[in-house]
Amino acid sequence: MNHRINPHNQNPEDADKNIVSQNETIGGISKCPPILKERYQVIKPLGESVWSHTFLAIDQDKPSKPPCIIKEFVNLDDRKDLVFQGQEILPTFSCDPVQLDKIGKHPQIPEVLASVEYDGHRYLVQEYIEGSNLATELIEDGVFSENKIWQILNQLLPVLEFIHDHHLIHGDIKPENIICRTKPGTNTQEFVLVDFGVTISTNGDLLSIGSINGSAEYAAPEQTKGKVYPNSDIYSLGATCLHLLTMVSPFELFDIKAEKWVWRDYLKHPISRYLGRILDKMVQRDHRQRYQSVAEVIKDIKYGPTPADVLLQKPKWSVTIWGAAAIALLSLVISSRVPSPKPEPSFSSSRTRTIPKLEPSLPQPKIEDTTKLPSLPPPTGIVDRLSPLRTLATTSGPVWSIATNPDGRIVASGSTDGTIQLLHLRSGQSLGKLSGHDGPIWSVAISPDGRTLVSASGDSTVKIWNLYTGRLKNTLYDHQKDVFSVAISPDGNTIASVSKDRTIKLWDMNTGMLLYTLYGHLDEVQSVAFSSDGKTLASGSNDGTVKLWDWRYGRLLRTLKGHQGPVWSVAISPDGQTLASGSWDNTIKLWDINSNSGQRVSWRSQRTLIGHSEKVQSLQFSPDGDTLASGDFGGTIKLWQINTGGLMGTLKGHSAWVNLTFDPQGKTLISGSFDDTIKVWRFSPYRF
């Protein structure tokens, strides 16, 4: 076997230069494996490119003889026949091995074990990562799900950011160079970026070994022309994701004649517009129109497009453009709504779908109450910028939704990766995760008896879980688009769900049967809530209205108009008298839900609460009904007194979009945020 490890070395007896020792060679073919630096024994070749060859080896110095990887770079004289754009290409190893050693401290980057240069060759020895590469997984398992693409992006983008922060560019991101392994000490998957042998220094010559060596299928256009930038890595990662989603070469996913990507035509399963827009920007052919930094991609994933992304794609608003300022444009889109003819609400019933029952097992959550929540000294007067009592958890991604069970012991949170995390409120102990959705979890709700959890997702489904066994009891499929919010009736028998498809659906909790579909909103329906007696259902929509329904008979009771922007949150007070609505116009309105005016459309609310400087995302009444908590896109939480409408306190601690729920016992407020944290705030017995 020809290992290509410098068979021409003339000084094997020189201890200082003993790069390779060979017992015998015949015509340059090794009879036994060569040894690099009298330590690393080559086992077999793994691959080669124009400028380098890769080998599997073992470290003979360590008792366990662990495997390692050797990268050999060709001699400068070996490829002088190559020219590029009329110029002779001189391969150079432009990256300082010291820099590679520094980034090798990252747990998702192989450690550098040795770097040796001899006779015009450079050898790099790196840690061997056990696992399968994504190219192999694609062949064995077929196209990747959207959920797995989110996992890849969420895990590898911070790795890329780390590399770029060290003034390096990987230069060769592709499925073969991403290893999926079991994270040490856990049972979870972890993605590791490998093959740093051609990593490029951003401080060096752009026309270098790395810029030419990148795999053509995944290399950015500028890289194939001898130029490379940090966002060339972003392009390669995006092209890799497109290949994994389609199982089609990126060469075929780009229509050269039309000069546009056509990767959506090759999808085996549809993906969300949210992910599609991010991938489109990652693979922009012009590097100036691409994401300029990894931080921009991460920001878009965490704080960018929201469940109302279609509002900005297909606005139903009249817009006047005065300049190119995007913020001003967005403000106009939200605030200058054009009235549209109101269609007559209709009502339909369907009982024809049979829902399969799936029962994956999870360890039964342990909910023993082992610790006591510490107390804070009683506050005096109005409390502003109160610090959270504690951070309950730091999650693996943005928290989209949050709920507690009736005894206040379990907190459930839905995240971008399609999982639901269960936590013990007082101890902070993880009780496990519920996995099954293929999209972000927009909403979670727990039944009044505490036994059932319902989740709504971007995969257009609603799932019903046994909270104590972790078993998936049912999946409800009738929505055509993302399901943004779910609520459970007070008797625990009915589920209400609302969707991007502009409908409200009512389901039988026990059988999963679709009972009714309510129509009437002109745009996406974002939020839903039952009254305490279970007779009235409230829904909030991007059309700027709130609708009240007698859902049992499919009858629209009233339409509440007054907001100047989408309504993303509705809540009904425990006594069933007051409805609160939160909007993109930065206000909260309080409505008399039992008004006997007889009018089908109400324009006048009881009170408008003004104080938020960002769009209002979440509303929750305290269990006693005296206080309303509101959360906005900037992470600010405000507490309002219902009787007077007075602002009682402002809670600061989150840095992004926040969702709220009260401990049903009324002692704490729990907030989950896009900043990846869940926080607990002392609320009772002290009053602000």
Q: Read off the pLDDT of residues 583-600 as tens digits, 9 standing for 90 and up.
A: 999 999 999 988 766 678
pLDDT (mean) for 424-444: 89
CA angle 298, 236, 150 (to 5 degrees): 40
CATH homologous superfamily of domain 15-127?
Phosphorylase Kinase; domain 1 (3.30.200.20)
- SS3 for 80-113 is CCCEECCEECCCCCCCCHHHHHHHCCCCCCCCEE
Instruction: Give the model's pLDDT for residue 75.
Output: 60
Question: Measured between alpha carbons, how far is 655 from 489 in angstroms, rounded to an integer?
Answer: 33
| 639 pLDDT higher than 70 | yes
What number is the average pLDDT over the span 39-47?
83
How many CB atoms lie under 10 A from the CB of residue 386? 18
How much is the pLDDT for 87? 39
Q: Is the pLDDT of residue 579 over 90?
A: yes
One-letter amino acid at 135 equals A
- Residue that is written with structure tokens 């190119």 in the block: 324
Mean pLDDT of 121-145: 88
**Which one has a higher pLDDT value, 159 or 20?**
159
pLDDT tens digits along 243-285: 999 999 898 899 888 889 999 989 988 888 889 999 999 999 9
pLDDT recorded at residue 683: 66
The answer to whether residue 50 scores a pLDDT higher than 80 is no
Domain coordinates of the chain in residue numbers? Answer: 15-127, 132-303, 388-682
Is 54 or 447 the better-scoring residue by pLDDT? 447
Cα separation, 591 vs 589, in Å, equals 6
**Average pLDDT value for residue range 629-657:** 90
pLDDT greater than 80 at residue 325: no
Rounded to the nearest 10°, the torsion over CA 509, 514, 515, 518 is 120
CA 240 to CA 394: how far, in whole Å?
29
What is the C-alpha to C-alpha distance for residues 514 and 549, in angstroms, rounded to an integer? 17
Confidence class of residue 183 from pLDDT cuts 50, 70 and 90? Answer: confident
- Look at residue 371 and tell me whether its pLDDT is greater than 60: no
The C-alpha atoms of residue 33 and residue 386 are separated, in whole angstroms, by 67
Whole-number Å distance between alpha carbons of 352 and 514: 8
What is the pairing mode between strands 504-508 and 514-518? Answer: antiparallel
Q: Is 371 helix (H, G, I), strand (E, B) or coil?
A: coil
Distance of CA 318 to the CA centre of its chain: 32
Alpha-carbon distance of 232 to 223, in angstroms, equals: 7
Q: What pLDDT is recorded for position 86?
A: 40
Burial (0-12, 13-18, 19+ Cβ within 10 Å), 316:
middle
Q: HEC states along 378-420?
A: CCCCCEEEECCCEEEEECCCCEEEEEECCCCCEEEEEECCCEE
What is the rounded distance in angstroms from the CA atom of residue 296 to the CA atom of residue 230? 12
d(C-alpha 399, C-alpha 673), whole Å: 5
Residue 286: CB atoms within 10 A of its CB come to 9
Please give the Cα distance from 148 to 598 (Å, whole number). 52
pLDDT bucket at 113, cuts 50 / 70 / 90? confident
Averaged pLDDT for residues 346-366: 32
CB 487 within 8 A of CB 496: yes
Q: What are the two backbone dihedrals, phi and then psi, of residue 194, each rounded to the nearest 5 degrees?
A: -120, -175
Q: What residues pair up with 260 in beta bridges, in sequence order? A: 255
Q: What is the mean pLDDT of the chain?
A: 77
Residue 108 has pLDDT above 50, yes or no: yes
pLDDT value at 25 more than 50: no
Is the Cβ–Cβ distance between 330 and 505 less than 8 Å? no
| pLDDT at position 379 | 34
Q: Which fold has domain 388-682?
A: Methylamine Dehydrogenase; Chain H (2.130.10)
Structure tokens at 504: 């409200």
**What is the CATH architecture of 132-303?**
Orthogonal Bundle (1.10)
Phi, psi at 499, each rounded to 5°:
-145, 165
Task: Assess whether pLDDT exceeds 70 at residue 224.
Answer: yes
Mean pLDDT computed over 403-412:
90
At residue 276, φ and ψ (nearest 5 deg) are: -60, -40
Three-class DSSP category at 210: helix
* CATH topology agreement for domains 132-303 and 388-682: no
* Of the candidate ranges 217-226, 375-384, 470-479, the one whose mean pLDDT is the lowest: 375-384
d(C-alpha 251, C-alpha 242), whole Å: 11
Selection from 200, 197, 212, 203 nearest residue 89 by Cα: 212
73 contacts 209 by C-beta, under 8 angstroms: yes
Beta bridge mates, 411: 404, 423
First to last CA, the chain: 78
Q: pLDDT category, 537, cuts 50, 70, 90? A: very high
What is the DSSP track for 136-175? HHHHHH-SPPHHHHHHHHHHHHHHHHHHHHTTEE----SG
Q: Which of 68-82, 185-199, 373-387, 550-564 has the lowest mean pLDDT?
A: 373-387
Give the burial class of 656: count Cβ atoms within 10 A of its Cβ; 0-12 exposed, 13-18 middle, 19 or more buried.
middle
Furthest CA-CA distance within the chain: 102
Ranking 43-47, 164-168, 516-520, 634-638 by mean pLDDT, the lowest is 43-47
Is pLDDT of 645 > 90? Answer: no
Q: Do residues 57 and 40 lie in contact, with contact meaning Cβ atoms separated by under 8 Å?
A: yes
* Low-confidence winner among 40-49, 431-440, 553-562 (lowest mean pLDDT): 40-49
Among residues of the chain, what percentage have pLDDT more than 70?
Answer: 73
Give the confidence band of 657 by pLDDT, cuts at 50, 70, 90: confident
Confidence check: pLDDT of 96 > 80: no
CA 274, chain centre distance (Å): 10
211: three-class secondary structure by DSSP: helix
Q: Is pLDDT of 515 > 70?
A: yes
The reported pLDDT for the residue numbered 1 is 38
Residue 592's DSSP bridge partners are 578
Is pLDDT above 70 for 131? yes
| Residue matched to tokens 């609505």 | 581
